[in-house]
Each structure stands twice: as C-alpha cells, then as structure tokens.
Amino acid sequence: MTKWRKVLNKQTIYITGEARTTIDNAITKMFGTFYIAFEIMLSTDEIVDVDCNATLRLTRDFVTRLFLNHNIIKDEELLKQEIVTRYFGSSSKAILTAYHDALQHYKKVKNDLKEKR
C-alpha cells in the first residue's frame, strides 16, 4: 500500500451497486449478479478507485477508466453518457443500473453521516 493510499483510507468510503445481467451473460453464469464497487472521497464525492466483477480484465480496466476521478454525484449525466457512447459490451445496461444503485446508496450514506454529526 502506497503512502498516499494510507492517507486516503480514513477520508474515503466504500459503496457498491448491483444489477442483473442477461441470462446468457458470462457474469450471470459466473457470479449471478453484476457488482460495481467505488471508493469515494467523502469530502469531494470524487471516485478514487473502482472495481467490478466483469469476467475480463480489459472490461474491468475500461470500466475503471470510465469512472475514475469523476464526481459520483455532479458527473451523473456525463458518466451515463460515457457508458452509452463508449461501452458496447453486453453488460452496458447492468453497468448503468449498478452505477445508479451505487449512487443512491452513496447519497443515503452521506446523508446519514451528516445527520449523525
């Protein structure tokens, strides 16, 4: 773990989103459900890391590049547009749905944390 990573750990939170994929999708056959995970800087809503359970490394890397360094809230429309115009794999709808699910979880968690303060 790098030094900057240690610093970020106490300033970030981990959120996941999930979605179903088509019955003939390799993700469905291997995992049952598509998951995407985000590490987000709570103070800025910036996505600092991303992973998903796609079956191919290139897919995971491409999805990471789509989301990395974006604001999970403010860049919602931009991120959706990026997925629609750049990702042409069989899981595009699942990625959109899982992102939306993660975004809703993030907003709820962030609101809950504000109320506790």
Q: Would you kindly state where each structural domain of the chain is located, as residue ranges?
A: 3-109
pLDDT given at position 77: 98
- For 40, counting Cβ atoms within 10 Å of its Cβ (0-12 exposed, 13-18 middle, 19+ buried), the class is buried
pLDDT given at position 62: 97
What does each C-alpha distance from 51 to 6, 96, 109, 115 come to in angstroms?
A: 19, 14, 19, 29
User: Which residue type is seen at 96?
Assistant: L
pLDDT given at position 30: 59
Q: What is the mean pLDDT of residues 76-83?
A: 98
| Contact criterion met (CB below 8 Å) for 94 and 30 | no
Reported as a pLDDT band with limits 50, 70 and 90, residue 24 is: low
The class that CATH gives domain 3-109 is alpha beta
In this prediction the pTM is: 0.84
Is residue 54 classed as helix, strand or coil in its secondary structure? coil
Q: Residue 25 above 80 pLDDT?
A: no
pLDDT given at position 54: 82
